[in-house]
Amino acid sequence: MPLTVKSRRKRSTRIAVTVLSGVLPVLLGFAILYMQAGRALQQSTEQTADEALRQFNLMLDNTAEAARVLLPLAGNSCNDATLALREQVTRRPFVRSTNLVYDNNLYCSSLFGEHQEKVNPGDYTQGQLWLMNGNPVTPNTALLVYRLSDEKKGALTTLDGYHLSNVLRLIGRQTSLLLQVGNHWLAADGKVRDGALPVLPVAQSVRVSKQYAFTVAAGFPEGETWRYMSSEYPPLFSLLIFFGVVSGSIGHILQKRASSPSVELQRALEAGEFIPYFQPVVHGDTKKWSGAEVLMRWSHPKEGLVRPDLFIPFAEHSGLIVPMTRSLMQQTAALLAPISASFDSPFHIGINITASHCQDLELVEDCRTFLGAFAPDSISLVLELTERELIEPTALTHQLFEQLHGLGVMIAIDDFGTGHSSLGYLRQFNVDFLKIDQSFVAMIGADALSRHILDSIIELSAKLDLGIVAEGVETQEQSDYLTAHNVNFLQGYLFGRPMPGADFINALSHH
Ligand code: C2E
Ligand code: CA
Ligand code: CA
């Protein structure tokens, strides 16, 4: 079956497409969440760095202010200045000690009073800030020294590293936050280290103070994005998985729909893959060609020529049989109409119809168009309706058959003998022909009982004044028997197999 062979062959592709349509949205959603997490972390480090910068600036403002107040005292005797030095330590928040310098010599300190120590301006970044790892009083405790100078005068004010590491720890929380002054940097653990700032691999934000010579860096260690996602996004992950399943299912359903028989038939119809084959019908007596039955074939691009019983049931079920038959009639007319003027007596053209054709009056128009294509009276159109699925006689069907007869269209009951149509039924629809099913023809030469059934059908049709066509005539014996019993028309491989239009026209010219 082309319709199932096709879907079986593409099974692996279908599974792949289903999986992809489920997985792709999940992957895409995941990528978006990853980017979103990156952005959230970046925003967080930027805010943290900004806040730390603000705090450090604020602290240094105090040391700078103390230094500014004290600078004029530099050069004065230490005794006179000690009080002022201590006052600044007491008054100014964050200021731990104050010192006076003259000619690069620290000579007076709030802590010791008079004290001598060399000052090297080169220790200070931009001559202004020095981040030290403690001093002799508090070794291994960070200390930030602020230097202000005016020619030989100088003031040094210090800021306790405890405040600095507090800020780093409190503002930073989950973020790694570092304070850098020149070649030294301080982390939240309160330790001052030398060298360049370490790179913070995730969402690093660096802020440089405009007022003072320091830099703040915030960021996260490796793997923070995943950690953040796994703590913040579990509900979104569930949603993603849900969408993945929904989208996978939709993909699966759409594919099933796309590979469903009716979609495939519709595609084939649009692609013009349904083509007519013609099987000659001959006169019972002379064996001359009296007409042809049009049999549908599906010229499938991959499966080749497909027999009608493999797809007609689907076509009937989906209602597509109506446009398919219309296309068949159009192709038949296009092939035969040009030679129709040469037919010397009306040429019978049999078209198979189904119950779906009898649900409205469209068929009348199709037949009118068909007949209109041929030379007047050159053909007689016979609609073959199988006895196996007879239609209900309704007002509509009566109207339909009346109008068809009005056009000169004839009706044949196909596969006669396999169903159970009553005499009344045959009369009601004004049937013109009975087509004896090939199973009865095949009985010729067999037992007496089978032959008896065949004889009764022939007898019945003679009584009802109906034309008879015998189908499936394959042997000379069958042909002779049917001719001897006055069967009007014969059809079967003995006289010709169904053939493409061009072959049929070619053969017709020889008859
Ligand atoms: P059917 O209308 O009874 O058509 C006769 C079938 O018998 C055709 O089969 C034909 O090829 C086959 N046949 C003719 N002579 C012989 C013979 O000597 N021996 C044997 N064994 N078979 C013979 P096909 O073409 O395969 O069509 C099968 C059925 O499909 C048709 O049976 C008809 O019911 C349906 N069909 C074909 N074309 C159409 C169509 O256009 N519309 C509709 N609705 N049904 C169609
Ligand atoms: Ca038929
Ligand atoms: Ca038949």
Q: Is the pLDDT of residue 459 over 80?
A: yes
List pLDDT tens digits, range 295-329. 999 999 988 999 999 999 999 988 899 999 999 99
DSSP code for 499: E
DSSP code for 344: S
Contacts of 261 (CB under 8 A, 6+ apart): 3, 311, 314, 317, 318
> Atom of ligand 1 at shortest distance to CA of 384?
2
* Nearest one of 491, 213, 232, 249 to 352, comparing CA atoms: 491
Ligand 1 within 6 A of CB of 21? no
| Distance from the alpha carbon of residue 293 to the mean position of ligand 2, in angstroms | 7
Name which of 29-43, 82-96, 381-395, 475-489 the model is least confident about.
381-395
Between 213 and 457, residue with greater pLDDT: 213
Q: Is the pLDDT of residue 255 over 90?
A: no
Residue from 318, 325, 352, 391 to probe ligand 1 pocket by mutation (most atoms less than 8 Å from CB): 352
Q: Is the pLDDT of residue 8 over 60?
A: no
Provide the H-helix boundaries in 259-410. 261-270, 312-318, 321-336, 362-373, 395-406
State the pLDDT at residue 488: 92
State the pLDDT at residue 5: 43
Specify whether the CB–CB gap between 182 and 215 falls below 8 A.
no
Structure confidence at residue 430 as a pLDDT band (50, 70, 90): confident
| Distance from the alpha carbon of residue 56 to the mean position of ligand 2, in angstroms | 98
Domains and CATH numbers, the chain: 59-162 (3.30.450), 273-508 (3.20.20.450)
Ligand 1 within 6 A of CB of 493? yes
Q: How much is the pTM?
A: 0.63
Q: Which ligand is nearest to the CA of 354?
A: 1
* Nearest one of 2, 1, 13, 7 to 259, comparing CA atoms: 7
Q: Is the pLDDT of residue 137 over 90?
A: no
